[in-house]
């Protein structure tokens, strides 16, 4: 019989992983010609900055990668983050390396379903919300889910990682 006449939702890798883990989430799609930043997207969609989270990828002195998830309007504190993950120091992964390391493009990068599972830290403020918003793994796609579910599916820890 197949899907004749039905529009099939394009699932990202992140959504497939959430489905497999039986984690409840909702998706939101929006037009995104070019990614500017999370604040621009939140403004466009009328979303709260505090519950909208961006995903940053860093590299430590040991050449290990770390994923940091924090509110879109906050700046990461690399010193605090390094202490949390047990590194001497962290630096941001260069934009040109994001796809090769994570499997995602800038603006569509999410902590769920990267090429490898990297140690992940979610800013502790996420726990203040019933639902947080993260990238869905593609430009123009968001996932809305409970912070504890994000923590569970990424094996993350909650900590203070912002300036």
C-alpha to C-alpha distance for 148 and 122, rounded to whole angstroms: 10
Q: Are 71 and 50 in contact (CB under 8 A)?
A: yes
Whether 113 maps to a domain, the answer reads: yes
- Residue 34 domain boundaries: 25-159
Whether 79 maps to a domain, the answer reads: yes
Stated pTM of the model = 0.91
Kindly report the average pLDDT of the chain as a whole number.
Answer: 92
C-alpha to C-alpha distance for 120 and 93, rounded to whole angstroms: 14
Whether 12 maps to a domain, the answer reads: no
What mean pLDDT is predicted for residues 110-137?
A: 96
Kindly report the CATH number assigned to the domain that includes residue 96: 3.90.960.10
Comparing 120 with 107, which gets the higher pLDDT?
120
Whether 1 maps to a domain, the answer reads: no
Whether 4 maps to a domain, the answer reads: no
Please give the distance of CA 114 from its chain centroid, rounded to a whole number: 10
Whether 131 maps to a domain, the answer reads: yes
Whether 80 maps to a domain, the answer reads: yes
What mean pLDDT is predicted for residues 150-157?
A: 97
C-alpha to C-alpha distance for 161 and 3, rounded to whole angstroms: 45
Number of domains in the chain: 1
For residue 55, pLDDT over 90 is answered with yes
Whether 10 maps to a domain, the answer reads: no
């Amino acid at each position: 019989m197949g899907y004749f006449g039905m529009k099939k939702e394009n699932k990202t890798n992140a959504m497939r992983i959430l489905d497999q883990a039986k984690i409840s989430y909702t998706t939101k799609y929006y037009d995104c010609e070019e990614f500017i930043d999370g604040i621009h997207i939140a403004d466009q969609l009328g979303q709260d900055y505090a519950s909208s989270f961006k995903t940053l990828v860093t590299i430590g002195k040991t050449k290990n990668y770390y994923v940091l998830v924090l509110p879109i309007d906050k700046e990461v504190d690399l010193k605090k983050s390094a202490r949390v993950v047990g590194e001497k120091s962290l630096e941001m992964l260069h934009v040109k390396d994001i796809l090769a390391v994570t499997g995602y493009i800038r603006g569509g990068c999410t902590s769920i379903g990267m090429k490898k599972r990297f140690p992940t830290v979610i800013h502790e403020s996420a726990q203040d919300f019933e639902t947080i918003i993260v990238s869905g793994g593609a430009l123009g796609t968001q996932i809305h889910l409970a912070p504890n579910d994000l923590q569970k599916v990424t094996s993350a820890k909650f900590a203070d990682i912002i300036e």
